[in-house]
Amino acid sequence: MDGGAPGIGTGSGGLSRLLGGASIPASANGVLVADLAALRRNYRKLREAAAPAECAGVVKGDGYGLGAAQVARALAAEGCRTFFVATLGEAAALRPAIGDAALYVLDGLSPGSAPDFAALTTRPVMGDLGEVAEWAAFCAALGMELPSALHVDTGMNRLGLKAAERQAVLAAPARLDGAGIDLLISHLACADTPDNPKSRDQLAQFTAFAAGLPPMRRSLANSAGVLLGSGFHFDLVRPGIALYGGNPYAERANPMEPVVRLYGRILQVGEAAAGETVGYGAAHTLRRATRYATVAVGYADGYLRALGATDARPGAVGAIDGAAVPMLGRVSMDLTVFDVTDLPPETAQRGGFIELIGPQFTVDDAAALAGTIGYEILTGLGPRYTRVYLG
């Protein structure tokens, strides 16, 4: 922070200034900043890694918590023409933002939903022959084959054609006729650990199955799969987490640029003596006279309770203008407390903000501390945040 300018701990002005003048509503208690320029750079990086394959955007889970419409518009501006969501509800919400781009629903066709897919010009990713038959019958009644995708299970044991159905299809590929299938997909179970032999095995199964079908486009790679190399790219890649700056690897450094920052509003600054405790369960005893800031973000905002501090274990770390402020006590539903003792009093005041996720404490740091993955941190960031888009 340069001389005299307000810092983020002093009011909306400091945060607004940090965000290049973005307006912060006076009512905003939690602020999620999504840097769409960084998202676009991540998309370009993945697209270049996957070329000449097409690079789709996976925007399920409301764009991994960032806002699917804003994310998809940014990707579309970068040339992205194919999107994946999980549910038909997500497809309905997204369609107006993406014009006539191709939109696939990974959950596939629930019984009776074909007319809804057609009304949204949306494509089911079908995972069993019952779905294929229903879509083909719907297309026949319409007198027009509408495009769709077929999901083959190559070892995830989740969605997709199982071994018996694969054999039935290979014995009689005409069973797929009439359903407009123009894309074959499968999903990798272990791409985040690049040395795992399971990916090679899935690749071999995928290639063998595709070879027995009429020619169609093929897609195997999620984010981590893109980074496994060109043998995994086929015609279309489907990155999600890496677009949003999450680490596609389980145990390697994150090659992507961070996209998300999170801020919580300071509601109150208080003081407590050494020996007093903070928060539920009195689980954290102060070792010194402490000045603390209580922030209006909690586990109802996806700021996980597993990030809390106790006497046995430090918790998450926040930041004000680059200075670390450790968490005190457990995360409550709507509130979290931070230790601001070491900061000059004028830098942490009611109405200011503490950075909860950012360069000091990344999405990956939060995931590691909470015993989860960045995907769960991002998709859990709930509806109470004011979402601010940069770029």
Ligand X SMILES: *Cc1c(COP(=O)(O)O)cnc(C)c1O
**Interaction site with ligand X (CB under 6 A):** 58, 60, 106, 187, 222-223, 238-242
Sign of CA dihedral 212, 213, 216, 222: negative
Which CB sits closer to ligand X, 127 or 318?
A: 127
Catalytic entry in 60, 299, 303, 389 = 60
CB of 228 to ligand X, least distance (A): 12
Which CB sits closer to ligand X, 98 or 242?
A: 242
Which CB sits closer to ligand X, 166 or 238?
A: 238
Ranges of H-type helices in the chain: 12-18, 36-50, 60-64, 68-77, 88-94, 114-119, 129-142, 163-171, 197-211, 223-226, 363-370, 374-379
Q: Round to whole Å and give the CA distance between 373 and 377.
A: 7
Task: Identify the helix (H) or strand (E) that includes residue 84.
Answer: strand 82-85
Instruction: Provide φ and ψ at 231, rounded to 5°.
Output: -60, -20
Which CB sits closer to ligand X, 62 or 355?
A: 62
Can you tell me whether residue 290 is helix, strand or coil?
Answer: strand
CB of 137 to ligand X, least distance (A): 25
Which CB sits closer to ligand X, 240 or 315?
A: 240
Q: Round to whole Å and give the CA distance between 125 and 382.
A: 27
Which CB sits closer to ligand X, 80 or 242?
A: 242
Verify cis geometry, omega within 30 degrees of 0, for the bond prior to 6.
no
Can you tell me whether residue 299 is helix, strand or coil?
Answer: helix
CA 256 vs CA 74, 137, 230, 243, 333: distances in Å = 17, 44, 19, 8, 31
Which CB sits closer to ligand X, 222 or 332?
A: 222
60 counts as catalytic = yes
Question: At what angle are helices 68-77 and 36-50 packed, to 10 degrees?
Answer: 60
CB of 125 to ligand X, least distance (A): 7
Closest-approach residue to ligand X (CB): 240
CB of 38 to ligand X, least distance (A): 16
Catalytic entry in 43, 104, 198, 280 = 280
Residues 6+ apart with CB under 8 A from 24: 12, 15, 16, 31, 386, 388
Nearest one of 183, 181, 179 to 135, comparing CA atoms: 179
CB of 188 to ligand X, least distance (A): 9
> Partners of 149 in the beta sheet?
125, 183
Torsion on CA atoms 126, 131, 133, 136, rounded to nearest 10: -60
Nearest-5° Cα angle at 151, 147 to 155: 170
Q: Round to whole Å and give the CA distance between 9 and 7.
A: 5
Which CB sits closer to ligand X, 190 or 368?
A: 190
CB of 143 to ligand X, least distance (A): 31
299 counts as catalytic = no
- SS (HEC) of 147-182: CEEEEECCCCCCCCECHHHHHHHHHCHHHHCCCCEE
Q: Which residues are known catalytic residues?
A: 60, 280
